[in-house]
Amino acid sequence: MINLFLIGIGTGNPKHLTVEGRLAIAEADLFLIPHKGNDKSDLADLRTQIIADIRSDANIVSFDMPVRDAAGPYIDCVNAWHKAISNIWSEAIANHPNAIRIALLVWGDPSLYDSSIRIAALLNPVPKLTVIPGITSIQALTAAHGISLNTLNAPVTISTGRQLRDHGWPLNTETLVVMLDGTCAFQELDGADYDIWWGAYLGMKEQVLEAGNLSETTPRIIERRGVSKSSHGWIMDIYLLRKRSI
């Protein structure tokens, strides 16, 4: 049976790779590396470099990521996109019948707002799945700012920019971590009521950070985000919001 390894590689710093992750890379027969266009080629290059630092003889298959249709209902479009990706994985695996241990390197941790596990379930036949955890962008964010994720004895909500934009601040929430926010949904909040800790390219030499009261920090984040994305062609960012006590 084919064993598919989903290896969490952290947020861009090769030092984030765990010993377990390094061992899985050392033992893999085939690596699948997605390409997301020329503007994001360094994302694929970083994966390739991580592999090369461990394996000089790695068998790597690169593939172009299909474009997600944005015209229909969001969930339907995402499901169709996942199916298209699974078909590419299946074809690559079928073209290498002697490869038993297949590996994909996943940003952050495969369990947190990543679709690799769901895509793997669409493969036919479904492979044996081995998930190797990695440092998440949440961990990298709180470490970079030197803050705790939660306040004393309090829960934390993890959500997306789409959810914040469409539904506002979640009820009974003090601390909100927001991922996948391409539109800076925090602009919709009354900034005076919140503090924010924001970071992009966490763990990489390009890392940028901002923190403070949301009303004062919002213009700086938007400006730095725009400049950074224009410079690199892509951006991965995340932020933590905390409601101020009234």
Could you tell me the pTM of the whole model?
A: 0.92
CA gap 10, 236 in Å, rounded: 12
Answer yes or no: do 117 and 50 share one domain: yes
- pLDDT for 41 equals 74
pLDDT tens, residue by residue, 179-225: 999 999 999 999 999 999 999 999 999 999 999 999 999 999 999 99
Task: Report whether the peptide linkage leading into residue 125 is cis, meaning its omega lies within 30 degrees of zero.
Answer: yes
Tell me whether strands 237-243 and 175-179 are parallel, antiparallel or unpaired: antiparallel
Measured in whole angstroms, how far is the alpha carbon of residue 151 from the centre of its chain?
25
Mean pLDDT, contiguous 10-residue spans, the chain (246 residues)? 95 92 97 83 86 94 92 92 96 95 96 95 94 97 98 96 96 96 96 97 95 98 96 94 86
Answer yes or no: do 124 and 23 share one domain: yes
Average pLDDT across the chain, whole number: 94
Tell me whether strands 208-213 and 194-200 are parallel, antiparallel or unpaired: antiparallel
- pLDDT for 246 equals 53
CB 8 within 8 A of CB 110: yes
Tell me the one-letter amino acid at 224. R
CB 116 within 8 A of CB 7: no
CATH number at residue 11: 3.40.1010.10
Q: How many domains does the chain have?
A: 2
CA gap 26, 12 in Å, rounded: 19
CA gap 29, 235 in Å, rounded: 31
- pLDDT for 90 equals 95
Domain boundary pick from 135, 158, 189: 135
Answer yes or no: do 105 and 83 share one domain: yes
Domain boundary pick from 118, 135, 152: 135
